[in-house]
């Protein structure tokens, strides 16, 4: 029987088929079993052998915030010139198609939805953007937690909330799979880029296995069948990453801490 490991995901539900494919592919290539588990809270990181996790909670579980709980191995590179062949993504600011706002600045006093407070794409970078603009004293009239990017998109489309920032990868998947949404929303601004969410290993995973996993992820796009599957999920390839690649998110968090602006409310 192959050794079984857990692969937790703390990311958008619409990308779970990608993570299941990665789990199956790694299992086949390395003769191990990876069971995909949907994390319920970030406390579950302590239970994970491997995981897909947002960059901000990764940072918050490294020194000086926490003893190291995760080792970054690889991260997706998305297709298109926008992404510069780098493991980055953006946060696209959306409103209803009939909303008068033409840029982020036009959202003053309006309502804002976010997915959850440890999300870089939906919360951390919004907080940082407000700091860079000197807007740390109640820019939004109302701030609402939606739970997931998909829910935030639909609240904007239904005019239940004025605006939100959506992970550009998630938004592309949602608009492809639910084209009716495109008739109800528009992008008015873009925040970022940020280094994209990593695939990580727990410290107890042997270094030899970590290296093997990293190698397989970095080379899987060379397998024509795997490349085709990655393209279905709007991923060009996986790139090797290291802790220093997430210093951009560290700098954003530090700026917010120095401004004593850690909550959008």
Q: What is the pLDDT of residues 202-260, one digit of tens each?
A: 999 999 999 999 999 999 999 999 999 999 999 999 999 999 999 999 999 999 999 99
Q: In what order do the strands lie in the sheet with 185-195?
A: 142-145, 111-114, 163-167, 88-96, 185-195
Per-residue pLDDT, 51 = 97
pLDDT at 114: 97
CA nearest neighbour of 92 among 8, 199, 11, 189: 189
| Token pair listed for 217 | 């992820």
Counting as low any pLDDT under 50, the low residues of the chain are: none
**Alpha-carbon dihedral of residues 100, 102, 108, 112, nearest 10 degrees?**
80
How high does pLDDT run on average in the chain? 96
């Amino acid at each position: 029987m192959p050794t079984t490991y857990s692969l937790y995901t703390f990311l958008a539900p619409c990308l779970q088929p990608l993570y299941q494919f990665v789990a199956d592919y790694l299992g086949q290539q390395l003769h191990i079993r990876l069971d995909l588990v949907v994390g319920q809270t970030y406390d579950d990181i302590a239970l994970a052998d491997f995981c897909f996790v947002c960059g901000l909670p990764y940072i918050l579980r490294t020194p000086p915030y926490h003893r190291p709980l995760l080792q970054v191995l690889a991260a997706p590179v998305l297709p298109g010139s926008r992404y510069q062949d780098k493991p980055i993504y953006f946060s696209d600011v959306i409103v209803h198609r009939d909303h008068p706002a033409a840029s982020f600045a036009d959202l003053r006093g309006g309502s804002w939805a976010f997915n959850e407070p440890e999300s870089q794409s939906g919360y951390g970078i919004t907080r940082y953007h407000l700091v860079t603009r000197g807007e740390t004293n109640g820019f939004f009239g109302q701030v609402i937690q939606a739970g997931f990017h998909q829910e935030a998109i639909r609240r904007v489309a239904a005019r239940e909330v004025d605006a939100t920032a959506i992970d550009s990868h998630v938004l592309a998947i949602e608009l492809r799979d639910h084209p009716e949404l495109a008739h109800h929303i528009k992008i008015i601004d873009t925040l970022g880029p940020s280094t994209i969410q990593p695939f990580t290993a727990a410290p107890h995973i042997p270094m030899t296995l970590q290296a093997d996993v990293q190698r397989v992820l970095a080379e899987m796009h060379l397998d024509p069948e795997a490349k085709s599957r990655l393209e279905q999920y709007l991923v060009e390839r996986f790139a090797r990453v290291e802790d220093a690649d997430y210093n951009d998110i560290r700098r954003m968090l530090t700026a917010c801490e120095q401004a004593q602006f850690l909550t959008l409310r």
